[in-house]
Chain A
Amino acid sequence: MNYSSELLKGTLKTIVLKLLADNKKMYGYEITQRVKELTLDKIQITEGALYPTLHALEADGFVTTETEFIGKRVRKYYSLSPTGKTKTKEKVSELADFMETMKFLLDIKTKTT
């Protein structure tokens, strides 16, 4: 099952920030692969959504970049800035709280086995 892009749009920043918090520095392709891997292909981040988000996070000062030359290619690594670290905590707890509320709102029974 693939989630709709509307659903992912509101959570993409949080996903990226959390991944960067768990892994010191990452590059774009690595982020998409890690998400795919962790979610067993359920969430596939598109390039068209990832890079605009990364640029916006950079402009907000939440992530910093460093470039590395791989032969003729240039690879941009992203890592969290100090404000980004605080922001990640905020975003993650906000989303967790939101999920709880949604569960309640949509009356989703948590499966008990």
Chain B
Amino acid sequence: MYCLSEKQIDYIFNDIRARGVEMESLQLNLHDHICCIIEQNLEEHGDFESFYQKTIRTFYKDELWEIEEETLLLLTYKNYYAMKKTMILSGTCSAAAMILGIIFKFMHWPGASAFIILGVGTSSLIFLPLLFLLKSKDRQATKDKLILGLSILSGMLLSLSILFKVMHWPYAMLLGYASVGLLGFILLPIYLMVGIKNPDSRINAITTSIVIIMICGLWLTLVRTPHGSRIKNISDTSSFLINEGIVSAQQKLYDSVIKTDSSENKFRVLSHQIISLCEKIKASIVLNETGTTHLSNDFESKLQFISDDIFRYSYTENKDVDSLQTFIKTYHLELDSTKTKLPTEYKTNSEEIIPFFSGTNLVVLQQLQQVQLMVMQNDM
């Protein structure tokens, strides 16, 4: 029976750690185990070093940390069946929510976005990660796991980016570019390199690579380029500023024609209230879009643009839009029948009503300008 010295005991422990076993309890298990074997089987004056190396070699196939990997695998897949069930359930739910969302969207029924958010959210945040965990168990090679991981990650990012885009949430484009970049510049080269080496998977690798290129290409075809966005922003903002010029010229003319004493008139008071409320709502939209209430002609160099984001009522304080609509209703009751009514909605051929003050920021700004100009015209 061999007697291990303290130095040798430390040596074994450090060697186990150096071989990549990180779990403390496993380090202790293996340490005690090897010490027992050496003590039991090495003769009193035997060669510790060579016996130790020979013994530890019997613990693994390629590397000692395989034991830790196997342990973690067993611990992770303890819930294998629950995970599998959750995956199927979340997948079914997301597919059902997606189908309902699309039907609701095309039928213009309320609740479409809730279903779409649920569908895309569940599939990309629950279904896909679980799919990765369960599928990666079957893949032995690290490169196969990497390819699987990268494809699942780009799938998650791509679906989230489309969801963010249609919901007008921030960072949609960033997510989209990240997923396409991941697909095209990281996954594609790795996948092609790994697949093309093996004659069995060569055809598969080539066809899948073509599909990946087409997905990236189609997405990039669908999005507006940075240059395109800039051109659109500049033309939209310029159009808004030109209209602003027209409104303010008309306002000057109006102020000179409409005498101050006429403010006694109840109808004029109403006109005035509508005009200034329109001004207030415009200012709040412009402030929200550009960070300033007064856009100047050098907006391009200051990067202050009116975007085509959807107008949100929450931009305006104290329900300004609601009060404006109430004022317009009262205005119409008082309005002379020879004068033009203010626009409050559009109607389709099938008598469907499209309300005013909904749509993109640019459209709402233009509608407000139209109301202001028409009120002034009616008074003059």
Interface residues, chain A, with chain B CB atoms under 8 Å away: 27-29, 32, 46-49, 51-56, 59-60, 65, 67, 70-76
Contact = CB atoms under 8 A, between A and B. Distances in A.
Contacts of B70: 48-49, 52
Given A47-B67, A71-B9, A72-B10, A52 B33 contact: no
A73 B29 contact: no
Interface string B20-54: 00010110111111011100000000000000000
B37 A29 contact: yes
Nearest to A31: B33
B141 interface: no
A54 B32 contact: no
Interface stretch (B71-79, B278-286, B336-344): B71-79
A73 B9 CA distance: 7
Nearest to B39: A29
Nearest to A55: B71
Contacts of B32: 27-29, 70, 73-76
Given A28-B29, A51-B71, A55-B71, A72 B78 contact: no
Contacts of B78: 56, 59-60
Contacts of B36: 29
Contacts of B35: 73
B59 interface: yes
A73 B30 CA distance: 11
Interface residues of B, number: 27
Given A55-B75, A56-B75, A73-B9, A48 B29 contact: no
B116 to A, nearest CB: 39
A49 to B, nearest CB: 8
A75 to B, nearest CB: 5
Contacts of A32: 33
Given A29-B36, A73-B32, A76-B32, A48 B67 contact: yes
B30 A51 contact: yes
